[in-house]
Amino acid sequence: MAIIQQIIFLAVLGTVGWLVFKRASLIRNTILLGRDEDRTDQPGLRFATMVRIAFGQKKMFDRPLIGVMHFVVYAGFLLINIEVLEIVLDGILGHHRLFAPFLGSFYTFLIGFFEFLAVGVLVTCSIFLIRRAVVKVERFQPSRHKEMNGWPELDGKIILLFEIVLMIAILTMNAADTVLQEIGSTHYTPTGDFAFSQFLKPLFTGWNETSLIVYERFAWWFHILGIFAFAVYVTYSKHLHIALAFPNTYFSRLTPKGEMNNMPDITKEVKIMLGLDTPDTTAAENVIPERFGAKDAPDLSWKNLMDAYSCTECGRCTSACPANLTGKKLSPRKIMMDTRDRLEDIGRNMQTNGGKFVEDGKNLMGDYISNEEILACTTCNACVQECPILINPLDIILQLRRYKIMDEAQAPGSWNAMFQNLDTNQAPWKFSPGDRFNWADHLKNEA
Amino acid sequence: MSEITYKVPTMAEMAANNETPEVLFWVGCAGSFDDRYKKVTVAFVKILNKAGVKFAVLGTEESCTGDPARRAGNEFTFQMLAMSNIQVLDMYGVKKIVTACPHCFNTLKNEYPELGGNYEVVHHSEYLQQLINEGRVRIEGGETFKGRKITFHDSCYLGRANGIYEAPRHVLEALDADLVEMKRCKTKGLCCGAGGGQMFKEPEPGKKDINVERIEEAIETGATTIAVACPFCMVMMTDGVKNKEKEDSVKVFDLAELIAQAEGL
């Protein structure tokens, strides 16, 4: 019997590992479709940023209560994984509570501590679920934010339910286990009562040994299979931030938020136009790039694409966006979700075409994100400031604008007038450059 | 009170006399052409004169930094403007620049270096704070602000874009006024609605104008003065006050104007 369980366990573990690996490779490959951008300078500062923002979750504590609750789930997730390690080893080796004999009473304390975390996760996830479904926190509501319609809203709730159910499984499993220990069931290593599950023992009064074993085994399998399913699910879900938050903060921008990336191709051309440089005749067909700005997801930098996969759709960006707050179509969260949706479509396309992307006639700009959205942005950086894991929606918006304006030459009329004024008068308004210093006339007369 | 003679020397005049200014005052397009913001330019020039700062302006040799073009997506126009500005600045050997416009400030400070223009750039809020700290600007001889409620509206390009939150507040504290904060301030400050090229186009369809949302918050503080440090914010906040028909009870001023008033200039 035990050997069959071990074989099933190994088969499941292998399958899950393979599925996760396949998904992770696809995600990695689609991120690498992005334009090159060097984000490897200042490794010390980058590492410190990652430790502070991802590991220490500094920005989550901008809202202290939510910060603490999120931290409980995060710490629970990280630390309970130690117990999952034991469970996996038990599964492979056909043991039960492999670590218990080595650790003695410390083991009981450790599991008790994990139970404490599990209860914390259970309570917090329930509160989070209530916030989504009952209190209806504005930024999660599809009625107010159309990008939350359908799957994203469901996804958010599924994850929370998942975690709640897993915690119930582990707590009741421990309770059944300790009851089995008390009746001296052979396979169950004595550990003594655990901190929380001891209070669940009355649930099992009157159960005979066989039903207890069946329940304990059921809960054990349910819990570990749940975790395996979760590992695969996460790669398809907004919940991917649990892994990507770390590289995403490490590779985040270190320059001032106000700085826009330069376009060296244009610098070269402008220098030639101003006679500061000569055209490079030796190189065949350089200078003119294929495209100005970003039309589709692969025109963005790989970091923009990693941002998209890292987004957990919390909507802090959107709830701080002045355009969104005043009813405009723009939602920075939607910009990130659209970019990810586009990448997922590209990934599926690559999978069905043997790893190569086959033109599907679609583009991020136009088919996913509309001009009206990107035109509404005031570049105020509120979205960038808000993101707890340093995602930059503004960078994407500005690259899409560059495409719209320079490649398609589709600017609103008043912007074209502004450009024309800048080109001819060196001011955005229709004033003569010769009048630029007139403001001082009155002052000089005063003197 | 002794009469002050105000001078506005240009870089060309300075160069002709073989002189070098302490600092170049970058006036900006709004500071040069916008009737309301020209008053800020004049106020700042008066402060510099009184403080005895040896400054110069570019006069007609100044061009737009290119910020609105770049934010609107027109990189060509931005770089053409930036490149010719850098040529002018380098021709005069400019080392230090002060400007009252956070958009000019951000572009000159953060975006010109990549194109070969390297200068020490400060915003006038930082510069004023420094002059006050050094005792070169003394808050005396003019209007008293004691007990007057002032709220400061953070400009995005000063605050979030460049992390400058304290300098303008220190300047206002020097006035001995009653500084009150809006609910959304500093890193959480709400945009006036004009950045990113919005100043030069109609807003996209929505329920409300951003400046109205912001002005409601400013009025809620009970402040009678809204202090700004950006020409675009000035326009948007002033329009917001008009929209709420509060022109009589709520005034919008730039930091430099408030300091000039307090100095009796």
pLDDT of residue B228: 98
- The answer to whether the CB of A338 falls within 8 A of the CB of A368 is yes
Whether residues A214 and A142 fall in one domain: yes
Whether residues A245 and A285 fall in one domain: no
Whole-model pTM: value is: 0.95
Whether residues A219 and A336 fall in one domain: no
- Tell me whether residue A240 is in a domain: yes
- Facing residue for B110 by CB, picked from A256, A372, A411: A256
The helix, strand and coil proportions of chain A, stated in percent and rounded to the nearest 5, come to 70, 0, 30
Whether residues A245 and A270 fall in one domain: no
Residues of A in contact with B196 (CB under 8 A): 377-380
Whether residues A88 and A27 fall in one domain: yes
Query: One digit per residue, pLDDT tens: chain B, 265 residues?
Result: 456 789 999 999 999 999 999 999 999 999 999 999 999 999 999 999 999 999 999 999 999 999 999 999 999 999 999 999 999 999 999 999 999 999 999 999 999 999 999 999 999 999 999 999 999 999 988 888 998 999 999 999 999 999 999 999 999 999 999 999 999 999 999 999 999 999 999 999 999 999 999 999 999 999 999 999 999 999 999 999 999 999 999 999 999 999 999 999 8
Whether residues A209 and A344 fall in one domain: no
Q: Is A150 exposed, middle or buried (0-12, 13-18, 19+ CB in 10 A)?
A: exposed
Whether residues A221 and A333 fall in one domain: no
Whether residues A77 and A210 fall in one domain: yes
pLDDT of residue A443: 82
Q: How far apart are CA B103 and CA B162, in angstroms?
A: 11
Pairing mode, strands B96-99 and B23-26: parallel
How many other CB atoms are found less than 10 A from the CB of residue A103? 14
pLDDT of residue A145: 95
What are the tokens at A267? 């610098």
* A406: DSSP letter: I
List, in order of start, the domains of chain B with CATH numbers: 11-130 (3.40.50.1860), 141-263 (3.40.50)
Whether residues A171 and A268 fall in one domain: no
Output the average pLDDT for chain A: 93
- Tell me whether residue A447 is in a domain: no
Shortest distance between the Cα of B147 and any Cα of chain A, in A, equals: 31
Whether residues A143 and A196 fall in one domain: yes
Stretches where chain A sits below pLDDT 50 are 447
Shortest distance between the Cα of B21 and any Cα of chain A, in A, equals: 18
- Tell me whether residue A393 is in a domain: yes
Q: How far apart are CA A335 and CA A345, in angstroms?
A: 15
- Report A:353-412 residues touching B (Cβ under 8 A): 372, 375-382, 384-385, 398, 401-406, 411-412
B90 touches chain A (CB under 8 A): no
- Facing residue for B210 by CB, picked from A320, A322, A385: A322
Question: What kind and span of H or E run contains B25?
Answer: strand B23-26
- Tell me whether residue A434 is in a domain: no
| pLDDT per residue as tens digits for the range A104-125 | 889 999 999 999 999 999 999 9
Q: Which residue of A396, A418, A442, A444 is the best one to mutate when testing the B interface, meaning the one whose CB has the most B CBs within 10 A? A: A418
- Facing residue for A375 by CB, picked from B41, B187, B204: B204
Whether residues A301 and A325 fall in one domain: yes
Whether residues A245 and A271 fall in one domain: no
Look at chain A and report how many structural domains it folds into.
2
A420 touches chain B (CB under 8 A): no
- Tell me whether residue A51 is in a domain: no
Domain end (from A250, A274, A306): A250
- The answer to whether the CB of A76 falls within 8 A of the CB of A121 is yes
B220 touches chain A (CB under 8 A): no
pLDDT of residue B1: 44
- Tell me whether residue A151 is in a domain: yes
- Report A:27-46 residues touching B (Cβ under 8 A): none
Q: Quick check: A372 and B71 CB within 8 A? A: no
- Tell me whether residue A367 is in a domain: yes
Domain extent, residue A305, equals 264-423
> ipTM of this model?
0.95
Q: Quick check: A256 and B161 CB within 8 A? A: yes
What are the tokens at A161? 């339910």
- Tell me whether residue A256 is in a domain: no
CATH code, domain with A396 = 1.10.1060
